[in-house]
Amino acid sequence: METAIDHSRKTFEKIPLTIAESISSGGKAIARQIADLILDKQRTGEMAVLGLATGSSPLVVYQELIRLHKDENLSFRNVISFNLDEYYPMQGNSGQSYVHFMHENLFRHIDILPENVHIPDGSVPSDHVQDFCHKYEQLINEAGGIDIQLLGIGRNGHIGFNEPGSSFQSLTRLVKLDPVTVTDASKDFVREEFVPVMAITMGIGTILRARRVIMMAWGEAKARVIREMIEGDVREQIPATILQMHPRVHVYLDQWAAMELARIKTPWLVEVCRWNDELKKRAVIWLSRRLQKPVLKLTSDDYKHHGLADLIRQEGAYDLNIRIYHSLQKTITGWPGGKKHADDSERPERALPWPKRSLIFSPHPDDDVISMGGTLLRLVDQGHEVHVAYQTSGNIAVADDEALRFAGFLRDFSQATDLVPKRFQAIHQHIERFFESKLPGAEDSPMVQLIKGLIRRGEAEAACRFCGVMEKNVHFINMPFYETGKVKKNPLGEADIQVVATLVEKVKPHQIFAAGDLRDPHGTHRVCLDAIFAALQRLRDKPWMKDCYLWLYRGAWQEWDIEDIDMAVPISPEELMRKRNAIFKHQSQKDSPVFPGDDKREFWQRSEARNRATALLYDKLGLAEYEAIEAFKRYYY
Ligand code: F6R
């Protein structure tokens, strides 16, 4: 049984918290507390009143509650539930409603009585909303108040849909959604413009009246706001900070949501550290960045005045600086496939075998060039046998209009050449009609999915051609988990692992590059990575696998922390231009990618900014000044 690892309260922390070993162990610990409340109340013949949340965070809790119901006979007949919120306007039978979410993810699997379930009604006419909200508060009071309120947290610090600026006294009411919330919700509605702009939410005052509050947050995207909530000042701009004032609140985090907390990020400021090489490197880089001084210029006084006196006690600042400087220097190489005939004892990659078979996995059809286009070009230029494997079709990210354009091309081409024009006319008509009646965010027809997937395939082929990757080495493995036709994908399955393993076995690579979004608990990149991990586990005893390095690049959104980088590949100004042109081959993603996230820049702009920022960081630490750098972390499997 997995256990949570730390319950203690550290310096700077104003809310008690637990960092769970995994999301699933965190979810289980929370579900256990809910189950204990229900059982206690059963013994005294009382009702347990639960405040419930939706979103991705509580799913693990609901899964465990369902398991407890099925395997351990936990009954929910003495439970009254009140959900936090609902979009407005929203029909309960819509796939995106929270009514639907709760039914699918919890209620239909347990024995809660339907009359005991309360969810704000997004379908009440606007002139009745106020009455409805008033009544909702009354119902909570009549039930005796909430015993345990379950909460997730938005990246902007919202709890429920109490957006930044909400009053701490607020009660259930109609609110406008913050732009950050709308962006985050767009993954369920496909496009931002389909997300309702309002919601009915319990107020902060309502939440604070709950006798106990349990909050959970998983994944790196929540790390910053969690630091604000746990260590920052109480302020309305970050509504969750008010939980510091609640007498009985507990927060569950996974290691990534906790990563910005002082106890993890700068443990030397919190407690006496047991120094190892990794921690020393982190501390030196932190000090150098904080003082904006190159590593080699840091003095003993700098260390002493920033809580790091114990770090230099054994080694002295001078030796420590040099050692860390060298370890950073060793990560830089212009030879990502190794340098033939060179001494490789201080290089990230081996000189031999040479040339290498390099296998680049790209979750979507453009991640390869966006995240490691410069390195890909170098590998090809330096004579390695480069294979690229596109893991999914990426069809969901193609706009309807693009599909229509290509169908129009097919129709016109067939007419011009007299090539069964009737068939292509019919295809075009089907697509035109389909889009006319398509509801926002609805699933595409198989034909439309096919066309959208082929558009992206053509773009990936063009980018590979541009980079000099041979056609026979371009692989489209279409992992089945992705092909749901919807934004929501299936979990990783055996068939996914099989297609990856088969390809690895066929290529027998000396090095593999993969999108290493270890810190993101959701999403396509994570599933694609898990498939690679599982496939490599299976193949690890094959003789040709013994010497295969696995390099992880980060996805389009973020870069590795500098202390995590094992290989830094410099990109010259000309190479950066070539990389940009390779990204431009992905035309369907250029003007308005369907999932831009909260950064509205185009992918090539983000990617260049990120590669330049990494180069600048190396420069500021006192290393050579490059135009741009792509970064990789070696993963030992
Ligand atoms: C959900 C709710 C929201 C979410 C928050 C986190 O009922 O009120 O406050 O808890 O937006 O969402 P996820 O868990 O999807 O990251």
**Which atom number of ligand 1 is nearest to the Cα of residue 52?**
7
d(CA 83, CA 97): 12
Ligand 1 midpoint to CA 177 (Å): 12
What six digits make up the tokens of 496? 């996914």
Regarding whether 76 and 36 lie in a shared domain, the answer is yes
d(CA 38, CA 112): 12
Please report the pLDDT score of residue 4 as a whole number.
44
- Catalytic residue status for 104: no
Cβ neighbours for 567, distance < 8 A, ≥ 6 positions apart: 331, 333, 336, 348, 349, 551, 631, 632, 633, 634
Three-state DSSP class for residue 631: strand
Ligand 1 midpoint to CA 150 (Å): 10
Spot the catalytic one: 13, 86, 137, 163: 163
Regarding whether 318 and 227 lie in a shared domain, the answer is no
pLDDT mean over 162-180: 97
Residue 252: beta bridge partners?
A: 18, 216
Nearest CA to ligand 1 atom 1: 54
Tell whether 3 is covered by a domain: no
- DSSP symbol at 8: P
User: What region, left, alpha or beta, does residue 384 occupy, with left being phi > 0 and alpha being psi -120 to 50 degrees?
Assistant: beta
How many other β-carbons are positioned within 10 Å of the β-carbon of residue 495? 12
Please report the pLDDT score of residue 370 as a whole number.
95
d(CA 479, CA 371): 20
Question: DSSP secondary structure string, 125-192?
Answer: -GGGHHHHHHHHHHHHHHTT--SEEEE---TT--BTTB-TT--TT--SEEEEPPHHHHHHHHHHHSSG
Ligand 1 midpoint to CA 160 (Å): 7
pTM comes to: 0.86
- DSSP symbol at 358: E
What six digits make up the tokens of 43? 């013994």
pLDDT, tens digit (0-9, with 9 covering 90-100), for 221-277 = 899 999 999 999 999 999 999 999 999 999 999 999 999 999 999 999 998 899 999
- DSSP symbol at 260: T
Residue 453: give its domain's CATH number. 3.40.50.10320
Please report the pLDDT score of residue 597 as a whole number.
58
Nearest CA to ligand 1 atom 2: 160
d(CA 149, CA 53): 8
Count: domains in the chain = 3
Statement: residue 520 has pLDDT above 70: no
Q: Is 161 in the pocket of ligand 1 (CB under 6 A)?
A: yes
Tell whether 98 is covered by a domain: yes
pLDDT mean over 506-533: 89
How many other β-carbons are positioned within 10 Å of the β-carbon of residue 346? 10
pLDDT mean over 372-399: 96
Q: With contact defined as beta carbons under 8 Å apart, do 562 and 616 qualify?
A: no
Please report the pLDDT score of residue 489 as a whole number.
82
pLDDT, tens digit (0-9, with 9 covering 90-100), for 341-366 = 999 999 999 999 999 999 999 999 99
d(CA 484, CA 247): 45
Angle of helix 446-467 relative to helix 573-584, nearest 10 degrees, comes to: 160
CA 381 remoteness from chain centre: 33
Q: Is 540 exposed, middle or buried (0-12, 13-18, 19+ CB in 10 A)?
A: exposed
pLDDT, tens digit (0-9, with 9 covering 90-100), for 400-447 = 999 999 999 999 999 999 888 898 899 999 999 999 998 776 789 999
Regarding whether 458 and 478 lie in a shared domain, the answer is yes
How many other β-carbons are positioned within 10 Å of the β-carbon of residue 272? 8
**Which atom number of ligand 1 is nearest to the Cα of residue 83?**
7
Q: Residue 160 corresponds to which amino acid?
A: G
d(CA 152, CA 163): 13
Please report the pLDDT score of residue 306 as a whole number.
95
Task: Give the model's confidence band at 617: pLDDT under 50 very low, under 70 low, under 90 confident, else very high.
Answer: very high
Tell whether 334 is covered by a domain: no
Tell whether 422 is covered by a domain: no
Task: Give the model's confidence band at 394: pLDDT under 50 very low, under 70 low, under 90 confident, else very high.
Answer: very high
Q: With contact defined as beta carbons under 8 Å apart, do 435 and 400 qualify?
A: yes
Statement: residue 1 has pLDDT above 60: no
Please report the pLDDT score of residue 484 as a whole number.
84
Please report the pLDDT score of residue 521 as a whole number.
60
SS3 per residue for 520-533: CCCHHHHHHHHHHH
Three-state DSSP class for residue 18: strand
> Alpha-carbon dihedral of residues 489, 495, 498, 500, nearest 10 degrees?
-20
Tell whether 522 is covered by a domain: yes
Statement: residue 108 has pLDDT above 60: yes
Statement: residue 5 has pLDDT above 50: no
Statement: residue 105 has pLDDT above 90: yes
Closest alpha carbon to 589 in 576, 606, 573 = 606
Element (H, E) at 454: helix 446-467
Regarding whether 258 and 271 lie in a shared domain, the answer is no
SS3 per residue for 263-275: HHHCHHHCCCCCC
Regarding whether 141 and 30 lie in a shared domain, the answer is yes
Regarding whether 316 and 378 lie in a shared domain, the answer is no
Tell whether 563 is covered by a domain: yes
Tell whether 494 is covered by a domain: yes
Statement: residue 592 has pLDDT above 60: no
**Which atom number of ligand 1 is nearest to the Cα of residue 160?**
8
Q: Which residues of 78-113 are buried (b: 16+ CB within 10 A; e: fewer)?
A: bbbbbbbbbbbbbeeebebbbbbbbbebbbebbebe
pLDDT, tens digit (0-9, with 9 covering 90-100), for 552-561 = 999 666 789 9
Closest alpha carbon to 324 in 368, 352, 359, 282 = 282
Tell whether 579 is covered by a domain: yes
Ligand 1 midpoint to CA 53 (Å): 7
Q: Is 159 in the pocket of ligand 1 (CB under 6 A)?
A: yes
Regarding whether 206 and 168 lie in a shared domain, the answer is yes
Q: Is 160 in the pocket of ligand 1 (CB under 6 A)?
A: yes
Q: What integer best gives the mean pLDDT of the chain?
A: 93
* Portion of the chain with pLDDT greater than 90, in percent: 85
d(CA 306, CA 289): 12
Angle of helix 277-291 relative to helix 317-329, nearest 10 degrees, comes to: 100
Q: Residue 356 corresponds to which amino acid?
A: K
Statement: residue 335 has pLDDT above 80: yes
Task: Give the model's confidence band at 594: pLDDT under 50 very low, under 70 low, under 90 confident, else very high.
Answer: low
Q: Is 56 in the pocket of ligand 1 (CB under 6 A)?
A: yes
pLDDT mean over 134-151: 98
Regarding whether 113 and 222 lie in a shared domain, the answer is yes
Domain end call among 226, 246, 263: 263
Domain end call among 311, 329, 347: 329
Q: Is 183 in the pocket of ligand 1 (CB under 6 A)?
A: no
Regarding whether 282 and 380 lie in a shared domain, the answer is no
How many other β-carbons are positioned within 10 Å of the β-carbon of residue 167? 13
Ligand 1 midpoint to CA 155 (Å): 9
Regarding whether 296 and 362 lie in a shared domain, the answer is no
Q: Is 55 in the pocket of ligand 1 (CB under 6 A)?
A: yes
Task: Give the model's confidence band at 598: pLDDT under 50 very low, under 70 low, under 90 confident, else very high.
Answer: low
Domain span at residue 270? 266-329
Ligand 1 midpoint to CA 389 (Å): 35
Please tell me whether the peptide bond between 355 and the residue prior to it is cis, using omega within 30 degrees of 0: yes
Closest alpha carbon to 431 in 400, 453, 409 = 400
**Which atom number of ligand 1 is nearest to the Cα of residue 181?**
11
pLDDT, tens digit (0-9, with 9 covering 90-100), for 467-490 = 999 999 999 999 999 988 777 788
Nearest CA to ligand 1 atom 4: 152
Domain end call among 285, 313, 329: 329
Q: With contact defined as beta carbons under 8 Å apart, do 81 and 117 qualify?
A: yes
Task: Give the model's confidence band at 34: pLDDT under 50 very low, under 70 low, under 90 confident, else very high.
Answer: very high
Nearest CA to ligand 1 atom 11: 154
Please report the pLDDT score of residue 171 as a whole number.
98
Ligand 1 midpoint to CA 48 (Å): 22
Dihedral sign of CA atoms 596, 598, 602, 607 in order: negative
Q: Is 521 in the pocket of ligand 1 (CB under 6 A)?
A: no
Regarding whether 464 and 533 lie in a shared domain, the answer is yes
Task: Give the model's confidence band at 2: pLDDT under 50 very low, under 70 low, under 90 confident, else very high.
Answer: very low
Out of 2-16, 158-172, 487-501, 537-551, least confident range: 2-16
Regarding whether 244 and 275 lie in a shared domain, the answer is no
